[in-house]
């Protein structure tokens, strides 16, 4: 499909009409000022908290508009392939319109998203290794059983629904200068760009992709499973509709690596008190990593597209953050293998304000004398300077302490 044909399918008029439909369920989500990011860059930075949206992501906007557009064609039911957020939203919309819903998700999709789909009454089938395979499975089911296939992004009604977010930005930020937005399949980015630029042509719209899966950034994407914190935007091939729209309306597309995504998720939890999934945090990651700079002369808005974080990921994020911030001290030392030896060691650390997290004895594979045991311990400390003070105190107490990175 060429750019001209795509542009005819999704216009400001379609997006404005979609708002009346999507608004029956979708919230007008808040724009939240980020003191941390604004201070860091010396420019006003705000966050569009779509993570607080019904079903936890922007996808409900497109799902509602799509089902409304189907009318009686949805009576036999609807189906889709999705990594989770589109699935949740379609399941919710199907329940709202009273039609059956069957969803295909890749094996290993976040459990929280799968359970949410089922709670809305949808049937969920886990199979395949990617969103692309799930979409293919859903198409096959639709052709076989007469269900309506609902593409997660490459659909004019879906794109128009997602674009309603852009209308809210224009209303809420009269000095908007830049929108930083995640790109997976491109439905959100293209819809928002059309809405915003049709009304405020000067605004820059920057798309962000995960470095491991970034077809819009012109990078090769390997076949097979893609492992990323930003699973919701791990789409390998742009759509026939979305690609020309993104190329026409989005000013630039940048990439961010996994460490930057992890740091952004923790920053949002720690400083903004917002629980945002990896795909939703890539815009903040782009700012913090230097891939994007705020545009002077107005507000830069980062779209936090979803908040459906897999709970199993959070402890790892926190551990990593504490380690990189120097608030975890890991040491190895040798102590007398007699009663009271470990107590003596730990007392030194405790008296200097280090909190014990984990301790293990090692007697195998370590160079020890006959009456010694090795101790591997992890402590919580206040930072690098405090860690150095604690280690120095242990050495002055007679312990040979090796600090592990």
Point out the residues that are catalytic: 59, 305
Give the Cα separation of 239 and 81 in Å (integer). 14
Q: What is the mean pLDDT of residues 252-280?
A: 95
- Which string of b and e fits 67-104 if b means at least 16 CB within 10 Å? bbbeeeebeebbbbbbbbbbbbbbbbbbebbebbbbbb
Which pLDDT value is given to residue 5?
A: 64
Which pLDDT value is given to residue 286?
A: 98
What is the edge-to-edge ordering of all strands in the sheet holding 402-404?
Answer: 355-362, 372-380, 328-336, 402-404
Give the Cα separation of 70 and 55 in Å (integer). 21
Give tens-digit pLDDT for 5-50: 666 789 999 999 999 999 999 999 999 999 999 999 999 999 999 9
Give the Cα separation of 215 and 335 in Å (integer). 55
Which pLDDT value is given to residue 4?
A: 61
Among the residue ranges 140-144, 191-195, 316-320, the one predicted with the least confidence is 316-320
Which pLDDT value is given to residue 227?
A: 86
C-alpha atoms less than 13 angstroms from C-alpha of 271 in its C-beta half-sphere: 18
- Residue reference for tokens 């030194």: 348
Which pLDDT value is given to residue 7?
A: 62
Which pLDDT value is given to residue 15?
A: 97
Percent of the chain at pLDDT > 90 equals 71
Q: What mean pLDDT value characterizes the chain? A: 91
How big is the chain, counted in residues? 405
- Kindly tell me if the per-residue pLDDT of 2 is higher than 90: no
Q: Which residues pair with 299 in a beta bridge?
A: 176
The secondary structure of residue 11, as a DSSP letter, is: -
**DSSP string spanning 95-113?**
HHHT--EEEEE-TT--HHH
What's the token pair of residue 300?
């830069």
- Kindly tell me if the per-residue pLDDT of 63 is higher than 60: yes
Give the Cα separation of 150 and 66 in Å (integer). 7
Give tens-digit pLDDT for 285-315: 999 999 999 999 899 999 999 998 888 888 8
Q: Are strands 372-380 and 355-362 parallel, antiparallel or unpaired?
A: antiparallel
Give the Cα separation of 297 and 42 in Å (integer). 11
- Kindly tell me if the per-residue pLDDT of 365 is higher than 90: no
Give the Cα separation of 239 and 250 in Å (integer). 15
Q: What is the mean pLDDT of residues 367-381?
A: 87
What is the edge-to-edge ordering of all strands in the sheet holding 299-304?
Answer: 31-33, 45-49, 299-304, 176-182, 204-210, 252-256
Name the nearest CA neighbour of 90 among 48, 146, 153: 153
Q: What is the mean pLDDT of residues 91-113?
A: 89
Give tens-digit pLDDT for 64-86: 999 999 998 888 899 998 867 88
Going from the N-terminus, what domains does the chain have, and what CATH number goes with each? 3-56+169-317 (3.40.50.1100), 59-156 (3.40.50.1100), 326-404 (3.30.70.260)
- Kindly tell me if the per-residue pLDDT of 157 is higher than 70: yes
Which pLDDT value is given to residue 222?
A: 63
- Kindly tell me if the per-residue pLDDT of 354 is higher than 70: yes
Which pLDDT value is given to residue 171?
A: 97
At 108, the pLDDT band (50, 70, 90 cuts) reads confident
């Amino acid at each position: 499909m060429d750019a001209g044909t795509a542009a005819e399918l999704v216009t400001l008029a379609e997006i404005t009409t979609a708002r009346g439909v999507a608004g029956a369920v979708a919230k007008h989500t808040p724009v939240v000022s980020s003191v941390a990011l604004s201070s860091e860059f010396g420019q006003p930075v705000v966050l569009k908290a779509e993570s607080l949206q019904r079903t936890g992501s922007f996808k409900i906007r497109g799902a509602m508009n799509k089902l409304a557009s189907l009318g009686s064609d949805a009576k036999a039911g609807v189906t889709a392939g999705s990594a989770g957020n589109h699935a949740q939203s379609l399941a919710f919309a199907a329940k709202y319109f009273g039609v059956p819903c069957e969803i295909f998700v890749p094996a290993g999709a976040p459990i929280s998203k799968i359970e949410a789909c089922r709670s809305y009454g949808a049937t969920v089938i886990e199979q395949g290794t990617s969103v692309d395979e799930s979409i293919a499975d859903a198409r096959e089911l639709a052709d076989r059983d007469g269900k309506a296939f609902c593409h997660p992004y490459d659909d004019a009604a879906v794109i128009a629904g997602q674009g309603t977010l852009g209308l809210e930005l224009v209303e809420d930020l009269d000095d908007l200068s830049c929108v930083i937005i995640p790109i997976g399949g491109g439905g959100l980015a293209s819809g928002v760009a059309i809405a915003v630029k049709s009304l405020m042509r000067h605004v820059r719209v920057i798309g962000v992709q995960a470095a491991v899966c970034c077809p819009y950034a012109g990078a090769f994407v390997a076949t097979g499973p893609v492992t990323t914190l930003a699973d919701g935007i791990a789409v390998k091939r742009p759509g026939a509709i979305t690609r020309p729209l993104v190329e026409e309306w989005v000013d630039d597309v940048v990439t961010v690596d996994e460490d930057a995504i992890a740091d952004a998720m923790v920053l949002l939890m720690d400083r903004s008190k917002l629980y945002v999934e990896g795909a939703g945090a890539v815009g903040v990651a782009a700012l913090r990593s230097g891939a994007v700079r705020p545009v002077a002369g107005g507000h830069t808005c980062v779209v936090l597209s979803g908040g459906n974080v897999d709970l199993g990921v959070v402890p790892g994020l926190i551990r990593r953050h504490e380690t990189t911030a120097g608030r975890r001290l890991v040491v190895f030392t040798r102590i007398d293998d007699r009663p009271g030896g470990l107590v003596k060691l730990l007392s030194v650390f405790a008296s200097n304000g280090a909190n014990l997290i984990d301790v293990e004895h090692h007697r195998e594979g370590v160079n020890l004398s006959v009456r010694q045991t090795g101790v591997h311990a992890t402590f919580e400390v206040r930072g690098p300077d405090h860690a150095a003070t604690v280690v120095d105190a242990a050495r002055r107490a007679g312990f040979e302490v090796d600090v592990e990175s």
